[in-house]
Chains A and B, each alone.
Chain A
Amino acid sequence: MKRLHPLSAVRQAVGGVIQGGFLGFFAGVFLRGVLEGPALPFQLLLAPLGAALGAGYAVAEYYRFTYELRDGTLAVASGVFDRQDREIPVGRIQNVDLERGVVHRALGLAVVRFETAGGSATEAVLDAVALDEARDLQETVAAQRRAERDREATGASEGAATGASERAATDVSEEDATDAGESGIATGTREDDAADDGADAGPGGARGATAPSSTDRIELYELSRRDLVVLGLASFRPGAPVLTVLGLPFLGDLAWGAVAAGSRLLGGPAVGSIAEVVALPPERFALVAGVALVEFAVATLLLSAVVTMVAYYDFRLYRVGDDLRYERGLLSRYSGSIPLGKVQTVTVRENALLRRWGYAALAVETAGYGPGSDDASNTAIPLDDLETVVEYAEALGDVEYPTVERPPSRARRRYAVRFALVPVALAGALLAVHRFWIAFPWWYVALAGLVLAPVAGHLRWRNRGHALVDGAFLARSGFWVRHTRVVPYFRVQTVVDERTVFQRYRDLASVTADTASTASVVGGDATAYDVDESTAREIHRTLRDRLAADVRRLRAREGGWQPRPLPGEATSESEGEDEDGNESEDGDDDPGSADGDDPTADG
């Protein structure tokens, strides 16, 4: 069983000293205030005691934390008083993610997170190990998973295909990308620029007699500087300024100062607090509100751009065997692995601004718990032109991207009505305020929003749709950020039809294909909204039938699910994987099909 890197003990001990010290100090102050008696400087005694205890506990925690990756299982034992022994079968690990903050990078360490499908939190966290060890873990998990899959496929274990941790070959091959695509896709590059990451560049040890899957690290995609800036400028995180101001209290005064300055510039009053603002007459209130909104928008744009650019700096996407691996980040460096065999949903994300310029993003969801509210942990391609993103979606979802079928036009009327309710409700609320609380004679201005209702309804309708193709179900929705979700039939969990009273009145229904991907809890399901009732029944039926058929077919074939070659990979791979990727006996699209040949042993 291995321990974490000793430096993490040091780091935790430092934290323990600080925490313990503070606790001791405050306890001392408290005691001094509470106890009548000699004014002993309790805090001077308790603070160092607390610090010592804190450090001691941290060191004890370090010594009691061990982990081991062996025999197809990750075993983690931890806890000083409360022992916890956890075993995770490698085949169940969905993602292995690395995080390297600024301090970690300086010390050559990394935090490793293992995620499985069962449970809402990360299953195992190693904070922190040496970077080489971290990369080794990523490779070993991938290799053991491959070995398991191959073992299941061939039904026999050849030599030492399992057993003690094996180093997967991380040979770097220089590949020419035959479809180089647009600016975003780099041609296959050598890994030497990753030297500062300390990644393995040397050839690994032998893997056993037959290695049916590629273990080369192939770079598929790289986010160029220009695209990074575009991504930053087009990102919109309203939470960013809010959180910043909340997090740094003195910024609140700065914000008020900015609002006051702006308002004074336009001849309005200088306000310093909410109370003053509420007391203003309507025109001045509108002025101050307007200034505040504009400044907020500007701050949001700037901060969003900065946050996004820092998060996606030097984004690269690789394929290593059956995993997609990404790396990103300026200050903190994140590296995650997305096992292709565990992909539940592939989503094409187009934000309203980028759409105009023909850009899109690709997100790949697995069943593992993904931290990061902006889906950064499952973003495979942050920005590229739509055609390339669609190519990837097709390869990953094993589907031909179709034209999407829009909801019937009566759905559009329904949306217009719903949007119209908002200004009406707002006007009503303001009217109530006017009558019962403070005078607000401008309540009816809210009704001006009614003009926007049909426009909003149309936009929403235009950006919704669904399609049923060979191999997958497609669902699209969203105006500000448009999501087109591709769910392979064999990933569907339950199928849900929903019809509210109003939908029933118009013979409409919404159909959802539920999957195991956690992101769908937060980000949204693959739902065909407001389709005709008969279409809904057809979708429901098709999803069920195709799920049954595809699962049966998957089980029947040898080798189970096989990954398809992705755009950006060379067509001539030494392992002899079929380039066309789409061959099948009965002419249908096999889910995730690539020909299941046993290729010759690799070089």
Chain B
Amino acid sequence: METLDRRVQGLWIGRAVLIASVLAGVALAVRAFLRPIDVRLIAGGWVVVALLGAVHARLLYRSWRFEIQDDALFLQRGVVTRVDTSVPYVRVQHTDTQRGPIERTAGLASVVVYTAGSRGADIRIPGLDPDRADDLRRQLRELAVESETADAV
């Protein structure tokens, strides 16, 4: 089973730090305009959120697995709720590689697989090396075409 690129952990930790900072900022604003909250409390809160986020990022990275099996793409991921998804090739409508601005700075890319499903309509594999992402997308497209059926719905 393949794993994601290690660098995605950094990306996720960065996101956690960002969220912590935003929350701290909100708390500071409240402190300035509404009721005085102890600065140490805010700082402590920032540390806790950032730490939790970092731990979550690490655990999430370790939980991520995907594999190209004979009939489907299989994914496993999740910390609190573990989700295993099988995307049969006959159901793949199209695939995208996506690189958001933040992902680009980290040198990573995502592959998004679209199906006709209503709940699992887009399946996303984040944090891949861009070359691997392109390869994966091509692989999936070939597998989807091979298993082409007249009506994917």
Contact = CB atoms under 8 A, between A and B. Distances in A.
Interface of A: 117, 152, 342, 344, 367, 492-501, 504, 512, 514-518, 520-521, 525, 540, 543-545, 547-548, 551, 554-555, 560
Given A495-B85, A540-B86, A500 B80 contact: yes
Interface string B66-94: 00000110000000111111111011000
A117 B153 contact: yes
A501 B80 contact: yes
Interface string B115-153: 111111001000000000000000000000001011001
Contact of A514 (B71, B117, B150, B153): B117
A188 to B, nearest CB: 32
A551 B92 CA distance: 14
Given A152-B150, A367-B153, A514-B119, A494 B91 contact: yes
Given A499-B81, A512-B119, A515-B118, 11 more contacts: A494-B91, A494-B117, A495-B85, A498-B81, A498-B83, A500-B82, A501-B80, A504-B82, A516-B116, A520-B119, A521-B118
Q: Which 10 A-B pairs have the closest CB atoms?
A: A493-B117, A514-B117, A497-B84, A494-B120, A516-B116, A495-B86, A521-B118, A500-B81, A499-B82, A514-B119
B75 to A, nearest CB: 10
Instruction: Identify the interface centre among A344, A514, A540: most chain B CB within 10 Å of its CB.
Output: A514
Given A496-B83, A544-B88, A520 B118 contact: yes
24 contacts: A342-B153, A367-B116, A492-B91, A493-B117, A494-B86, A494-B117, A494-B119, A496-B120, A497-B85, A498-B82, A498-B84, A499-B81, A499-B83, A500-B82, A501-B81, A514-B119, A515-B118, A516-B118, A520-B119, A525-B119, A547-B88, A551-B147, A551-B149, A555-B149
Contacts of A555: 149-150
Contacts of A525: 119
Nearest to B81: A500
Contacts of A497: 82-85
Nearest to A92: B153
A493 B152 CA distance: 9
B84 A493 contact: no
Contacts of B71: 544-545, 547-548
Contacts, number: 91
Contacts of B88: 492-495, 544, 547-548
Contacts of B83: 496-499
Nearest to B76: A497
Interface string B55-73: 0000000000000000110
A512 to B, nearest CB: 7
B86 A517 contact: no
A512 B83 CA distance: 11
A560 B82 CA distance: 38
Interface in B4-45: none
B73 to A, nearest CB: 9
B72 to A, nearest CB: 6
B46 to A, nearest CB: 26
A390 B152 CA distance: 28
Contact of B90 (A496, A518, A543, A548): A548
Given A493-B91, A547-B90, A551-B90, A517 B81 contact: no
In the complex, which of the residues A496, A521, A554 has the most CB atoms of chain B within 10 Å of its own CB atom? A496
Contacts of B119: 494, 496, 512, 514, 520-521, 525
Contacts of A492: 88, 91
Nearest to A495: B86
A518 B153 CA distance: 12
Contacts of A504: 82
Interface string B81-111: 1111111101100000000000000000000
B62 to A, nearest CB: 15
Contacts of A152: 150
B84 to A, nearest CB: 4
Nearest to B123: A494
Nearest to A560: B150
Contacts of B91: 492-494
A494 B85 contact: yes
A56 B86 CA distance: 55
Contact of A494 (B82, B115, B149, B150): B115
A504 B80 CA distance: 10
B153 A496 contact: no
A92 to B, nearest CB: 9
Contacts of A494: 85-88, 91, 115, 117, 119-120, 123
A174 B7 CA distance: 71
Contacts of B117: 493-494, 514-516
B15 to A, nearest CB: 22
A344 B91 CA distance: 14
A342 B152 CA distance: 11
A514 B118 CA distance: 7
B35 to A, nearest CB: 14
A518 to B, nearest CB: 6
B134 to A, nearest CB: 23
A524 B117 CA distance: 13
B56 to A, nearest CB: 13
Contacts of B123: 494
Taking each of A492, A493, A500, which has the highest tally of chain B beta carbons within 10 Å of its own beta carbon?
A493
A203 to B, nearest CB: 32
A517 B117 CA distance: 7
Contacts of A520: 118-119
A489 to B, nearest CB: 11
A355 to B, nearest CB: 27
Contacts of B80: 500-501
B57 to A, nearest CB: 18
Nearest to B84: A497
Nearest to B113: A494
A543 B120 CA distance: 15
